[in-house]
Structure 1
Amino acid sequence: MTSPSTQGDREKVVSKLPSWLRQELKVRTAQLRIDIQDAVEAGIAAWCGLASAPASVDTSGADSFSTWLPVGQWEGFKADCKTRGVSLTQGLGQAVQLWLDKHPAPEVRRPSVVRRIIVCNQKGGVGKTAITAGTGEALAEDDRTLYPVQTARALAVLSADAAAGEREELPGPGLRVLLVDFDPQGHLTKQLGQQPLAMGEDSLTAHMAGEGKGPIRDLVVPIEDERFGDRLHLLPACTDAFLLDVRLSTVRAREGALERALAPLEEDYDVILIDCPPSLGLSMDAAVFYGRRRDGEEPGASGALIVVQAEDSSADAYDLLTRQITDLRDDLGLDIDYLGIVVNLYDGRRGYIATSSLQAWIDIRDPRVVAVIGDLKEQKEAVRLKRPLLSYAPRCDQAVALRALAREIS
């Protein structure tokens, strides 16, 4: 049911609609950011303006549907239904279908340049892998299905539950996403139920060293889940990534090694997320270079997403990482954007250390905190079961917050 508009006088009306048509109306209005009551009003006005009633719609199984319409419109609509010899339910179904036909679903907004997001922090254990996976999953969700999204980040004022906020049902972005496990520990690969590539086989490391044995596309595997369609893929880790910095030391223009390796894949995706290792070595230089702003690319489309925890050691690691990024900016003359800070695994019940640290992150301002993700059991359960979190627990607080994060940096 919709709420009454504040503009003009409206009255509540009750009728019936079949569930399939009501759901399609709900999704389409969410896609177009239009209130349901305005869509129904426009559909009825268009229906009444036709010279004759359009084709019948299947109203079997119709159940109660209510909305708010301008005073007098519903009485006029009922009179037109009687004149045309159709039931009120059939007339309303035709009007809603007419509006849907005149307002097709928008096309998925695809970037002109593939977006490259490097998820990083020199400190291990902050949850970079969970943020990489969850953000990628959120970006790949179906654009014809509604999902709960946190719409109020509640970051301006510190509270005991900084991750809380209102929820809204919104369609998924429907983007084509590649997750790249750039960490030799292979946590992203294992969490998503895949196996790391064996030592000595073809791998991202081999391609970065200029020793690829075949097309890198052959190494990519799909994350098979109906909510992601065929839009979410993974480039698995390889145990030989422990040797990457050594191998890169002999490569010319080594900062561009990751970009050269992934270039053949870029046309297949809208977003590529890199799960970076907890390192400040040559591999991290290559990741930061890959996330730089390219010619013709909008500021903030690509860049570094920094994952931290609300505790002191994350602040030390943050300083080291930002210093490395600044050095690359200065040495190579690059535009490297910060996409924001994610405070992960937050639990305000841990007291002053957690709450004061969170406030310290919020006070940074540039880059700003773009999400606070709670430390809850569903993520750990999904890891144990080797399933994507947004598939395992799509309505849990973490999933809702990750969808908000994905939209915040889009």
Structure 2
Amino acid sequence: MASPYPGGEREKLVSKLPATLRQALKVRAAQLSTDVQDAVAAGIQAWRDHPDQLPAVDTAGAESFGTYLPEGLYDGFKADCRTREVSYIQGLAQSVALWLAQNPAASAQPVRRLIVCNQKGGVGKTSVAAGLAQALAEGAEHILKAALAAGLSNEDAQSLAQAGGQRVLLVDYDPQGHLSHQLGLKAIPAGEESLVTHMLHRDQAQHSLLDLTIPIDGERFGDQLHILPAAFDAFLLDSGLTIFRGPRHAALERALAPIEEHFDVIVIDSPPSLGLSMDAGLYYGRQREDERPAASGLIIPVEAEDTSAQAYGMLINQVDSLARDYDIQIDQLGLVVNKFDSRRGYIATSSRDKWMQLGTPPVLAVVPDLKEQREAVRLQKALLAYAPTSEQSHAMRQIAKGLK
């Protein structure tokens, strides 16, 4: 927390302040990464400069409060209190109240919702969702160490590290449950509470979805990464949504909304389909009214071959149709050219180049088809924990870095 008053002597201020103001001051200073003493100094200066008489603050029950002010400010403050015929306690209370009014807390942004989707099977959607979630949750010190060990410059390593350390929920929304299996977890049995039951019958749920999430162990993630496992009966979700009495397109949001406050990012591993459940996933990733553009949206894994381009066109048609129907904005945050192998020749390299030339959405990373990902899956371990310095792990960090 850098002080706006570097150097120079400071003088101790000892006065009283109501407990409510003192607590509000402490919380707001922490929210804005400001020292309390600097906040008080700024408030007193603003109070002295204020042209009008400020309303009185109820100081009944005020308790002892001390801080340090830049040299000369305390004397000027006391002189102004005498001129304005208010007590030092009242003057300080007005100063703190004025600082709080002039320095509101930054409005809380909604949880970021990243929908990893492609109705074409076999493109490695699950591996991208898992790797991205791991990269967003991975501790900065671990990212730096891995990046430097792989030969990246200190500047590039620092840039990658800025994306990590977030509270991430990884949701296995795919009825096949590959994500859960890859991380050594079993799907939630049919009939038990799950994401599906919370989507279709939330009013009957006995537990919070938060209770169903499982932390991904490992020092690299520091309890920042949790997964909501697949449900065994997720194959019935589309038929359940067909007869759902509520707004079907908002069913996923309805289920996840109560636990959003516990996470910074929610990554959805979507089903490989164009059905109602996919509509709900796309709708969940829309830009909300109080959200900055491109904070949430779609991450689309593709392969460097022709059928991926055809599948991409089908997905975008569905996105555009949903956006028109509900008058919403669904941002395509980027493509991931996955499982790339230049040894496959002209088809692979020319397809990769076409994806790169597309421009919008941008290609966030080209992930090579190497053995580390397959080995991590076989061992049911997180890729970034199993092979933190591998090219694939760095590609996942590159995707995280590329998100605004």
The alignment's TM-score, normalised by the length of structure 2, stands at 0.69
Q: Measure how far apart 1:115 and its partner are.
A: 0.2
2:119 aligned to which of 118, 122, 143:
122
2:302 aligned to which of 296, 299, 308:
308
Contact 2:195 2:255 in 1 (8 A): yes
Residue 332 (structure 1) aligns with: 326
C-alpha deviations, 1:71-99, integer Å up to 9, x for none?
xxxxxxxxxxxxxxxxxxxxxxxxxxxxx
Contact 2:112 2:265 in 1 (8 A): yes
Residue 41 (structure 1) aligns with: none
Cα distance in structure 1, aligned partners of 2:157 and 2:194: 40
Residue 390 (structure 2) aligns with: 396
Q: Measure how far apart 1:166 and its partner are.
A: 7.0
Residue 214 (structure 1) aligns with: 207
Q: 1:353-392 alignment to 2 at 5 Å?
A: 353-392=347-386
Residue 192 (structure 1) aligns with: 183
Residue 134 (structure 1) aligns with: 131
Contact 2:114 2:265 in 1 (8 A): yes
1:237 and 2:230 are equivalent in the alignment: yes
Q: Measure how far apart 1:301 and its partner are.
A: 0.5
Q: Measure how far apart 1:254 and its partner are.
A: 0.5
Cα distance in structure 1, aligned partners of 2:265 and 2:357: 29
* Bigger Rg, which one: 2
1:272 aligned to which of 266, 272, 281:
266
Aligned AA for 2:181?
K
Aligned partner of residue 140 in structure 2, secondary structure: coil
Stretch deviating more after TM superposition (269-278 or 214-223): 214-223
Cα distance in structure 2, aligned partners of 1:139 and 1:126: 21
Aligned AA for 1:408?
G
Contact 1:110 1:175 in 2 (8 A): no
Q: Given the superposition, is the C-alpha separation of residues 174 and 264 from structure 1 closer, same or farther in structure 2, using an over 3 Å criterion?
A: same
Cα distance in structure 1, aligned partners of 2:141 and 2:108: 19
User: Percent of aligned positions with the same letter in both sequences?
Assistant: 53
C-alpha deviations, 1:84-119, integer Å up to 9, x for none?
xxxxxxxxxxxxxxxxxxxxxxxxx99722000000
C-alpha deviations, 1:251-270, integer Å up to 9, x for none?
22110000000011100000
2:165 aligned to which of 174, 177, 180:
174
Residue 348 (structure 1) aligns with: 342
Contact 2:174 2:269 in 1 (8 A): yes
Aligned AA for 1:383?
V
Aligned partner of residue 157 in structure 2, secondary structure: strand
C-alpha deviations, 1:231-256, integer Å up to 9, x for none?
00000001100000000111221100
Q: Given the superposition, is the C-alpha separation of residues 110 and 177 from structure 1 closer, same or farther in structure 2, using an over 3 Å criterion?
A: farther
Q: Going by fraction, where is helix more abundant, 1 or 2? A: 2
Q: Given the superposition, is the C-alpha separation of residues 111 and 304 from structure 1 closer, same or farther in structure 2, using an over 3 Å criterion?
A: farther
What RMSD over aligned residues (CA atoms) do the two structures have, in Å? 1.9
Q: Measure how far apart 1:149 and its partner are.
A: 4.6
Residue 250 (structure 2) aligns with: 256
Q: Given the superposition, is the C-alpha separation of residues 165 and 374 from structure 1 closer, same or farther in structure 2, using an over 3 Å criterion?
A: farther
Aligned AA for 1:305?
I
Contact 2:200 2:240 in 1 (8 A): yes
- Size of the aligned set, in residue pairs, is 289
Aligned partner of residue 179 in structure 1, secondary structure: strand
Contact 1:111 1:270 in 2 (8 A): no
Residue 403 (structure 2) aligns with: 409
Q: Which consecutive residues of structure 1, in runs of 5 or more, have no partner in the other structure?
A: 1-108, 151-163
Cα distance in structure 2, aligned partners of 1:406 and 1:366: 17
Contact 1:149 1:401 in 2 (8 A): no
1:246 and 2:239 are equivalent in the alignment: yes
Cα distance in structure 2, aligned partners of 1:166 and 1:397: 15
Q: Measure how far apart 1:141 and its partner are.
A: 1.0
Residue 6 (structure 1) aligns with: none
Contact 2:109 2:290 in 1 (8 A): no
Cα distance in structure 1, aligned partners of 2:335 and 2:108: 23
Q: Measure how far apart 1:205 and its partner are.
A: 0.6
Aligned AA for 1:128?
K
Contact 1:307 1:341 in 2 (8 A): yes
Cα distance in structure 2, aligned partners of 1:301 and 1:377: 32
1:143 aligned to which of 140, 144, 150:
140
Q: Measure how far apart 1:349 and its partner are.
A: 1.2
Q: Given the superposition, is the C-alpha separation of residues 110 and 390 from structure 1 closer, same or farther in structure 2, using an over 3 Å criterion?
A: farther
Q: Measure how far apart 1:387 and its partner are.
A: 0.3
Q: Measure how far apart 1:409 and its partner are.
A: 1.0
Contact 1:149 1:404 in 2 (8 A): no
Q: Measure how far apart 1:360 and its partner are.
A: 1.5
Aligned partner of residue 226 in structure 1, secondary structure: coil
Contact 1:197 1:237 in 2 (8 A): yes
Aligned AA for 1:403?
R
